[in-house]
């Protein structure tokens, strides 16, 4: 089985790079951005782009000079020219043969060519990462991948996680990596990926340090199997290996099983008791503070059960549609304000959308989890008391307590408790919709009596 930590680092690296590119792509820029799109976008060698360049297309070729940042989204991105600031790209294949200040790239295949020169740090996430001999990364190389073949030079540190890493070039300072198990190479890294137009090297699983490799500091690696280090490799510091521990599973004893069952049973009753107490306190407060509203919702369910049930579905659908609309509008406004360089408005639109979704979600949770059971419990108690004689049967607090106890008993039955919980939420949401309608168009519908 592969080293899970190495694979996790690879996936996390790809996710981080992708999110970084997207978020930075949405960020407002100080200058007016140059935006281009099409099937094939080419920046000729004699062309200079004075601003940040946002470009999307199937094939993107940068032979000229970009004075600002480059944001690229496409199938193939080739950079032969110069990007004076950062390169942020998402693509199937990214080829760097020119110069850049820093790299933040997510792709299936990333190749840093012989003439590539990255002044700063390269943050990469990919299935395959290859640095050619002669390539230079001035500061740090950080990546998560399935495999990495590193034949170029890294000025400072290498931090990576992959199933397979082979070092043929040089690392200025320390190398710290996590790799897979060389005894189990598993399925090819490109098995689930689209076929690349560029050939990928075959890197043996685990960690390989070739004779041409140079490490200016320490080599720290985490792997099940020992690294394949050629005697001719130059490693100035210490070499240390950490073997990941795997917890051994054992069958629990009869006493442990009995103790677990007792704990589960106790937790089951305690959870239901806590919920009963919370609903009891919350319900009594609601019937004291807003009795007419709670009773009006209960009456809507009583007089229009089918209408309440159907409108409950509409309320849930409306909630989903509203949240989706807020997200869409927030993203569009952030993009618009960002392109217009209205940074404050772009940030405000995002914050407003997040706050709106949070408020709506909180209100929905409170109503379905607390208000709905209180309303239905009151209705159950009133329906029972209507068949009895005595002035005490008109007490709304007593009716609520009786109904809550019966509803809580139903909640103890597996499967049925889920069904009842859904029905309670649907009826109460539908009643809320009917109540809003009655506010706009007052009716003479009777309200449950209160003591």
Q: Which residue has the tokens 């540190």?
A: 157
**pLDDT at position 181 over 80:** no
Query: Residue 182: what pLDDT?
Result: 54
The residues pairing with 103 across neighbouring beta strands, listed in sequence order, are 87, 122
Q: What are phi and psi of 168, to 5 degrees?
A: -120, -20
Mean pLDDT of all residues belonging to the chain: 83
Query: Residue 3: what pLDDT?
Result: 46
The residues pairing with 206 across neighbouring beta strands, listed in sequence order, are 164
Average pLDDT for residues 272-300, to the nearest whole number?
91
**Beta carbons of 448 and 299 less than 8 angstroms apart:** yes
The residues pairing with 131 across neighbouring beta strands, listed in sequence order, are 112, 150
Q: What is the Cα 303 distance to its own chain's centre?
A: 44
**pLDDT at position 82 over 90:** yes
> Using 50, 70 and 90 to split pLDDT, how confident is the model at 196?
low
- CA angle, residues 169, 92, 176, in degrees to nearest 5: 35
Average pLDDT for residues 242-257, to the nearest whole number?
73
**Burial of residue 166, with CB atoms counted within 10 A of its CB: 0-12 exposed, 13-18 middle, 19 or more buried:** buried
Determine the Cα–Cα distance for residues 291 and 293; give it in Å rounded to an integer: 6
Most confidently predicted of 105-109, 128-132, 345-349, 397-401? 128-132
Domain boundaries, the chain: 4-242, 254-440
Query: Residue 254: what pLDDT?
Result: 82
Determine the Cα–Cα distance for residues 50 and 63; give it in Å rounded to an integer: 14
**pLDDT at position 194 over 70:** no
**Beta carbons of 72 and 88 less than 8 angstroms apart:** yes
Determine the Cα–Cα distance for residues 411 and 279; give it in Å rounded to an integer: 13
Determine the Cα–Cα distance for residues 358 and 361; give it in Å rounded to an integer: 5
Query: Residue 220: what pLDDT?
Result: 94
Weakest-pLDDT range from 15-29, 144-158, 189-203, 409-423: 15-29
pLDDT tens for 20-49 read 444 444 444 434 568 888 889 999 999 999
Determine the Cα–Cα distance for residues 92 and 376; give it in Å rounded to an integer: 55
DSSP secondary structure of 102-150: EEEEEEEEEEE-TT-EESS-EEEEEEEEEE-TT-EESS-EEEEEEEEEE
DSSP secondary structure of 249-272: P-PPPHHHHHHHHHHHHHHHHHHH
Query: Residue 442: what pLDDT?
Result: 62
**pLDDT at position 192 over 70:** no
**Beta carbons of 51 and 32 less than 8 angstroms apart:** yes
Weakest-pLDDT range from 170-174, 363-367, 436-440: 436-440
The torsion of the CA quartet 399, 404, 410, 415, rounded to 10 degrees, works out to: 130
**What pTM was estimated for this model as a whole?**
0.53
The residues pairing with 53 across neighbouring beta strands, listed in sequence order, are 34, 70
Average pLDDT for residues 125-132, to the nearest whole number?
92
**pLDDT at position 341 over 80:** no
Average pLDDT for residues 314-330, to the nearest whole number?
87
Q: How many CB atoms lie within 10 A of CB 370?
A: 16
Instruction: Check the CA dihedral 146-222-9-248 and report its sign.
Output: positive
Determine the Cα–Cα distance for residues 383 and 378; give it in Å rounded to an integer: 9
**Which is nearest to 295 in space by CA: 181, 158, 431, 167?**
431
């Amino acid at each position: 089985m592969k080293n899970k930590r190495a694979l996790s680092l690879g996936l996390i690296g790809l996710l981080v790079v992708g999110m970084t590119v997207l978020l930075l792509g949405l960020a407002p820029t100080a200058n007016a951005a140059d935006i281009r799109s099409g099937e094939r976008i080419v920046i000729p060698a004699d062309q200079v782009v004075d601003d940040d360049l946002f470009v999307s297309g199937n094939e993107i070729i940068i032979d000229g000079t970009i004075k600002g940042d480059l944001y690229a989204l496409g199938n193939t991105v080739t950079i032969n020219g110069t990007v004076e600031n950062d390169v942020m790209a998402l693509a199937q294949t990214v080829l760097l043969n020119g110069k850049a200040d820093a790299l933040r790239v997510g792709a299936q295949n990333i190749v840093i060519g012989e003439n590539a020169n990255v002044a700063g740090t390269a943050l990469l996430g990919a299935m395959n990462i290859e640095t050619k001999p002669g390539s230079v990364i001035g500061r740090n190389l950080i990546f998560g991948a399935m495999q990495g073949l590193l034949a170029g030079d890294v000025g400072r540190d290498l931090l990576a996680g992959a199933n397979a890493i082979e070092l043929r070039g040089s690392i200025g300072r320390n190398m710290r990596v996590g790799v897979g198990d060389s005894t189990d190479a598993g399925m090819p890294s490109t098995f689930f990926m689209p076929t690349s137009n560029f050939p990928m090297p075959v890197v043996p699983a685990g960690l390989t340090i070739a004779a041409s490799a140079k490490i200016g500091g320490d080599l720290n690696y985490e792997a099940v199997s020992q690294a394949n280090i050629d005697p001719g490799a130059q490693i100035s510091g210490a070499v240390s290996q950490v073997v990941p521990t795997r917890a051994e599973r054992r069958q629990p004893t009869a006493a442990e099983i009995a103790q677990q069952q007792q704990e589960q049973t106790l937790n089951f009753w305690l959870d239901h008791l806590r919920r009963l107490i919370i609903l009891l306190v919350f319900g009594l407060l609601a019937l004291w503070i807003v009795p007419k509203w709670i009773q009006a919702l209960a009456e809507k369910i009583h007089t229009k059960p089918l209408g309440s049930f159907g409108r409950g579905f509409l309320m849930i659908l409306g909630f989903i549609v509203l949240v989706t609309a807020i997200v869409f509008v927030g993203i569009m406004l952030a993009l618009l304000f960002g392109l217009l360089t209205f940074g404050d408005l772009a940030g405000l639109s995002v914050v407003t959308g997040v706050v709106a979704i949070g408020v709506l979600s909180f209100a929905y949770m409170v109503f379905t989890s607390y208000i709905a059971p209180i309303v239905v419990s009151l209705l159950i108690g009133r329906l029972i008391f209507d068949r009895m004689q005595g002035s005490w049967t008109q007490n709304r607090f007593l009716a609520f307590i009786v109904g809550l106890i019966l509803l809580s008993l139903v909640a103890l039955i597996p499967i049925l408790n889920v069904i009842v919980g859904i029905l309670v939420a649907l009826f109460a949401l539908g009643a809320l919709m009917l109540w809003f309608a009655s506010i706009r168009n007052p009716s003479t519908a009777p309200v449950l009596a209160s003591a």
